[in-house]
Amino acid sequence: MLFNYVIGVSLSKKDNRGKVNKKTLLTIGIISNILLLGYFKYADFLIENMNSLLNSHMSLLHLALPLAISFFTFQQIAYLVDSYRGETKEYDFLNYANFVTFFPQLIAGPIVHHSEMMPQFSKTKNKVKNYHNIALGLFIFSIGLFKKVVIADSFAVWATQGFDVAVSLNFFEAWATSLSYTFQLYFDFSGYTDMAIGAALLFNIKLPINFNSPYKATNIQDFWKRWHITLSRFLKEYIYIPLGGNRKGQYRTYSNLIGTFLIGGIWHGAGWTFVFWGLLHGIALVVQKIWSSLGFHMHKILAWFITFNFINIAWVFFRAKEWNDALKVLHGMFDLDKIHIAKVFLKNIIVTSGESLEQDYKTVFSFQNPLIEYFHELVLTFGLKTYVNLYISEMILFGFIIILFTLNSQQLGLQFRTSIKISFPLYILAIFSMGCSLIIMSLNTGTVFLYFNF
Amino acid sequence: MKKKLFTLLFIVGALSIWSLLPLYNYSIDQWRVLHKDYHYAYERIMINKVFLKEAYLLDYENKYDTILMGSSRNGSFDVDRISGKTYNLESSFSTIGTHLHNLRILLNEGLEIKNLWISVNDYDTWKNANDFESDWARRPYKNTIIEKFEFYRFYLYKNIDKRDISIFEKKSKLVKSERIVEKINRNIMYEKEKYILDNAKFWKNKMTSTGAILLGYTDSKYRIDEAIKDIKEIRDLCKQNNIQLTILMYPSFYKTYISYNQRKIEEFKKKLVKVTPFYDFYMLNDIALNELNWFDSSHFTFSIGNYIIDNIKLDKHLITKDNIKQHLMQVRDSIHSLIDKVLPIKYIYPFHADIDLSSLTPIFKLIDNIDTYKVSQKLIYQKKSNKILLKNLDDHSSILLKVMNISTENVILDFRLTSKYATRFKISYKKTINSEYNTKNIFSRHVGIGTNHYHLSIPSEYINYGIKINFGEAYGTYTIDDFTIYQ
């Protein structure tokens, strides 16, 4: 941090009479950051690939990954680049340190920009207690906590069962697995972001939004304008545009897009599955650009359907620990033979409530969210016959309803912010979210946020 | 609502919702732990006996001077036979670790104990008492503030289940219960026992045709040294507090006995006797071999409970460092009793492969006779030193053993098979000489990669009519290392 601060200050100085020129200084700064990130995050990946290429037996380092290294490395690189460009002011070190280590967003973003954070740290007005911000912060934090603890962690169990435990998956299970992860990742990551935004507001600090209903996107470009917005911003400003962006012709634009997303993929994790995920998104963006340039149009619902399914399938590679896990899930999703098994399974549930198939199914998806189980039991007592192993279908349906038909936390936050008096439904939503999350947290311990690894 | 008021009401509201679950759980309290209620229990719901009994003892600390600790098998002990001031601290599935934990608390709380009886189970060789920390019905009593906090949090923030709802809907009622306060309900026990004796034929048939209760035993993980360490600590605590310690090992029903790895039990006994003498009822003796002595394959009858207490008082069955060697030899030889007295078990019954069969008489070895037996065309065999190599070209290929003439009711098959594949072997049989081989209820067992060892008790009539053995469903080669029938 001190190293980056010193280099940043040197770069931002107007006179250029130092012994080392600014470009060299910037290069040293960026390379040092990337080397550090590379050492901790990618050393084992590199060694594994070297071993496999050269048939050697170098031992892996098994280094502990410093918490949030990917996030603070990007933030600091952006600071260095902007200092070089002369776009930074002379910040004091304390504010700089606060910018890099600000705890609400440190471990999983949003990736903040110095220009939007450091002025807030130094503003005297922000050091005064502000009930408006506290109330809004608590509201957004509660929604984020609910998304993470109640929704994402419910899907997490099924995703883990499908990806990591099951040996093979039938059609129904494979789709349930991939959709579970798609929902888990969104609710987990956006829930965390909401909590970061909410917690920061308690200190009168406004963080940038990071999600805007990404699964409502009707094309892949639209998706990246809604998903992990601050990462997209970074990739665009500090990789895509420096590579030339769309200024150097059509083919160069395409290669820049793919290159940017390959870097985005490897940034998420040290593995070929991440690289492939980045490649898929890069290619999808190129395809979309070509499609648009040809002047084609698609019906909105069909466009949403294709976009959502592409994202869902691409997440399979993002989640899978090994290629084989990804192929296992994809094989189940698209193997027509396995549809038959799923049909028999559903028929048995609906018509005969066949024990054996239910049992088989339970062996894969046997866990339920305690809160959902609670409501389920109540449903049973009113005489409505449902089945334990259909929780996952209910939850997936619930997930679709939330992502497609409800206001997102930013929109809810806007309602909250603009109302002089808070309405009763918003109050109930806030206390219900917080109360239920506290209950679930009291029941379950040891859950982790997905994005802290990245 | 204004933002300042919202902030205040948010905290109140969220905490109120958070407190709904503990309030609900407190009001229901399936296991009667939160109310510390040892007088009432819900119908058909197991209370947390280990907690409530300990709580009861601490509430009535001067009422008893002798404590009998053990698992639910202790339920058949009439503790008045020991003394009028004896309390039966029996609780389901409790282990030596549980007893040590309970003893520490009783002594810390100043309970004066003169005599302590500890009953040891076969499952003490593997079961970890810490497992019960996540078991609602078996989580033991706690006495430090931190432990109590975690203990009550565990019950208050419990997920609501079907039974909670049935209690809430008054489908399960709270009724007066003597399970904690009373030492034993003699009438019920005697009635149960009378029923068994009055229906002896039915009971024998029932006990021979049902499997053993093994409580999750898998022969893969043992914690003998940990259990012995716990017993040492119990012994030392008893010495420090002038408590007379008596340790006994429960008898076991023969089906349960032969399902266990007896080498491990022997190891446990050898280590136990180095710590303290103990009374050993765990062997294939008359108690184990008579179905009428058992309520089920785990719990012996009231009469056997009386027998155990009376024998201990007469110092019978005491195992010391001096007689352990001789005793274990007798135990090993007692496998004969299984052949002589118990059989027939009327179906093929597997028992633990590590039970020593060396004292039995081998009457047949496949290696010496393979040429005279029918082998499927798709099965190629080759004798190699003392083994048979099989090449299986069909998933139904089998060996048909020739008709034999064995006079005893059952025989024991010692069978070792080395496989490169995970598959199953199957045995089919005829019920009469002229009937067809069974197609239902074919006996089958998993074959793992590597060497597999099986001991099977087989009704002799199956052997006499010629059994059919499919050594492995998977195509490929197998090695039969041993296939010996003992009588």
- Which residues, other chains included, contact B57 with Cβ-Cβ below 8 Å and sequence gap of 6+? B64, B67, B87, B89, B106, B111
Residues A214 and A80 in one domain: no
Q: How far is CA A420 from the centre of its chain?
A: 33
Q: Is residue A177 part of a domain?
A: yes
Contact call for A381 and B165, based on CB within 8 A: yes
Any A CB within 8 A of B170 CB: no
Contact call for B14 and A381, based on CB within 8 A: no
Half-sphere CA count of B140, side-chain side, radius 13 A? 25
Q: Is residue A365 part of a domain?
A: no
Any A CB within 8 A of B162 CB: yes
- The Cα–Cα gap between B92 and B136 comes to 12
Among candidate residues A101, A117, A147, the one where a domain is terminated: A101
**Amino acid A208: pLDDT:** 92
**Amino acid A336: pLDDT:** 60
Residues A202 and A78 in one domain: no
Contact call for B20 and A132, based on CB within 8 A: no
Residues A227 and A289 in one domain: yes
What size, in residues, is chain B? Answer: 487
Q: Is residue A173 part of a domain?
A: yes
**Amino acid A350: pLDDT:** 39
Q: Is residue A345 part of a domain?
A: no
Q: Is residue A348 part of a domain?
A: no
Among candidate residues A85, A101, A117, the one where a domain is terminated: A101
Any A CB within 8 A of B149 CB: no
Residues A151 and A261 in one domain: yes
Question: β-pairing, B66-70 with B86-90?
Answer: parallel
Residue with tokens 């939007």: A116
Q: Show residues of chain A in contact with B153, CB under 8 Å.
A: 442
Contact call for A142 and B14, based on CB within 8 A: yes
Shortest CA gap A448–chain B (Å): 20
Residues A447 and A300 in one domain: yes
Tell me the two tokens of residue A377: 């039991």
| Candidates B4, B14, B169; nearest CB to A434 | B14
On the 0-12 / 13-18 / 19+ scale of CB atoms within 10 A, B448 is exposed
Confidence class of residue A215 from pLDDT cuts 50, 70 and 90? very high
| B70-118 pLDDT tens trace | 999 999 999 889 998 999 999 989 999 999 999 999 999 999 999 999 9
Residues A57 and A140 in one domain: no
Q: Closest Cα to residue B481, out of B420, B417, B419, B403?
A: B417
Residues A144 and A82 in one domain: no
If interface means Cβ-Cβ distance under 8 Å, which residues of chain A face chain B?
A: 131-132, 134-136, 138-139, 142, 370, 373-374, 377-378, 381, 420-422, 424, 427, 430-432, 434-436, 438-439, 442-443
Tell me the two tokens of residue A273: 């599955």
- Report the catalytic residues of A: 268
Tell me: pLDDT of B420 over 50: yes
Among candidate residues A59, A84, A101, the one where a domain is terminated: A101
Which stretch of A247-251, A375-379, B385-389, B463-467 has the lowest confidence by average pLDDT?
A375-379
Asked whether the beta carbons of A451 and A437 are under 8 A apart, the reply is no
- The Cα–Cα gap between A327 and B248 comes to 57
ipTM over 0.90: no
Residues A40 and A161 in one domain: no
| A24-75 pLDDT tens trace | 888 899 999 989 888 888 888 888 888 888 888 888 878 887 888 888 888 8
| Candidates B3, B14, B17; nearest CB to A422 | B3
Q: Is residue A156 part of a domain?
A: yes
Residues A287 and A149 in one domain: yes
Tell me: pLDDT of B179 over 80: no
Contact call for B9 and A427, based on CB within 8 A: yes
**Amino acid A362: pLDDT:** 39
> What distances in angstroms separate CA A314 from CA A56, A306, A452, B78, B137, one per listed residue?
32, 12, 20, 68, 46
Domain range spanning residue A427? Answer: 131-336+394-453
Residues A16 and A90 in one domain: yes
- How many structural domains compose chain A? 2
Asked whether the beta carbons of B300 and B287 are under 8 A apart, the reply is yes
Q: What value does the mean pLDDT of chain B take?
A: 88
Instruction: Say if pTM beats, i.e. exceeds, 0.90.
Output: no
**Mean pLDDT across B252-278:** 93
Residues A161 and A262 in one domain: yes
Residues A266 and A405 in one domain: yes
| A396-415 pLDDT tens trace | 888 999 999 989 888 888 88
- Percentage, residues of chain A above pLDDT 70: 83
Q: Which of A427, A428, A437, A445 to mutate to test the interface with B (most CBs of B within 10 A)?
A: A427
Shortest CA gap B49–chain A (Å): 24
